[in-house]
Amino acid sequence: MTDTSLFSSYALGDLTLANRVVMAPLTRNRAGAGFVPTALMADYYAQRASAGLIISEATQISQQGQGYQDTPGIYTPEQIAGWRAVTDAVHAKGGRIILQLWHVGRVSHVDLQPGGAAPVAPSAIRAETKTFVNNGFADVSEPRALALDELPGIVEDFRRGAANAIAAGFDGVEIHGANGYLLDQFAKDGANHRSDAYGGSVENRARLMIEVAAAVANEVGPQRTGIRLSPVSPANGVATSDPQAQFDHIARELKKLDLAFIHVVEGATGGPRDIAPFDYAALRTAFGNSYIANNGYDRDLAEARLADGSADLIAFGRPFIANPDLVERLKAGIPLAQIDPTTLYGGGAKGYTDYPAAPTPDA
């Protein structure tokens, strides 16, 4: 009988993971000049290498794709070299790490865009949300709608970002298709009012996400490619009228590409799991390959979901911030340390690499 406990090994695509605990992407705003990963970031990820899999913080595929200050990129040689130091540090500890590829779309500010340009979106609809810019939170800027002839360039930026991630030593990539960012904006009709081939029907609204997934999988291999989805999350002001039909269709199309996994935010990102009805089992069945469950999991819920077969891996986000040894704490039943909320975004080592591991019992 296969061991489905949280601490059992798991084959994910081409990777063998030491356990089923996944570190979810966590934006921490600590990249250096040129949006280059730093030595401090290498320390941070290496501290958390006991996770079966680390999914990196969201990483912009172009300057246009940036939505928050001091987030890292994956589009220059310097950024690739910076990430190489991170992957080397994680691999030296026996860990596995993949890069999350990100384009924020309308969730941005003119002060972050090339030449102070407007952010881009499927439609010129301003998001009801804020971003972190100029060392504080501010309303996002008014976006402009992407022209049809610009969309192949978006796909190419994702493809190039994936290639760069492998060059930087990552074990694979995760496409960010969730939480109200660009691909999610196209998929959801609250943000997408287009009347061309990328708007209107479920199939049309899914088109850009599927084209990106196909390009990335073709570049780095489907078994090194996954995607994050958030079918009912209202994060960053997105909404949709038909989440079940929409995301079941997306899952079926992703199955045709044979991607390694979908990483699903169940409910509202960082909020209630039951915010809206949705059949996640149907989504899992439509996709068929590995399913990473995310949002508000503790050990008991994680073990229950693994035991009943409704998930293959469990992603933990915020608990990893103050608990670099989260896997060991969960396994031993050690209480979790609490986050210092004043150090979440930006800054240096304080509240980033200075959270200690739990004391080990005397031998």
CA distance 21 to 10: 10
**Cα distance between residue 337 and residue 329, in whole Å:** 10
> 71 with 58: CB under 8 angstroms?
yes
Single-letter residue type at 128 = E
Distance CA 270, CA 177 (A): 16
Long-range contacts of 159-162 (CB under 8 A, 24+ apart): 159/212, 159/215, 159/216, 159/218, 159/219, 160/61, 160/75, 161/59, 161/61, 161/62, 161/74, 161/75, 161/99, 161/101, 162/101, 162/215, 162/216, 162/219, 162/220, 162/225
**Are the C-beta atoms of residues 241 and 203 closer than 8 Å to each other?**
no
Q: CA-to-CA distance for 27 and 363, rounded, in angstroms?
A: 37
The β-bridge relationship of strands 173-176 and 290-294 is unpaired
Whether residue 323 contacts residue 337, with contact meaning beta carbons closer than 8 Å, is answered with yes
Angle (CA) 87 50 86, round 5°: 15
Looking at the DSSP assignment, which residues form a beta bridge with residue 294? 265, 315
Residue 181 among the catalytic residues: yes
Contacts of 166 (CB under 8 A, 6+ apart): 173, 220, 224
Determine the Cα–Cα distance for residues 43 and 199; give it in Å rounded to an integer. 43
Classify burial at 29, counting beta carbons within 10 Å of its beta carbon; exposed 0-12, middle 13-18, buried 19 or more: middle
Among 74, 262, 103, 78, residue whose Cα is nearest residue 170: 74
- Which entry of 44, 75, 181, 297 is annotated as an active-site residue? 181
Residues involved in catalysis:
181
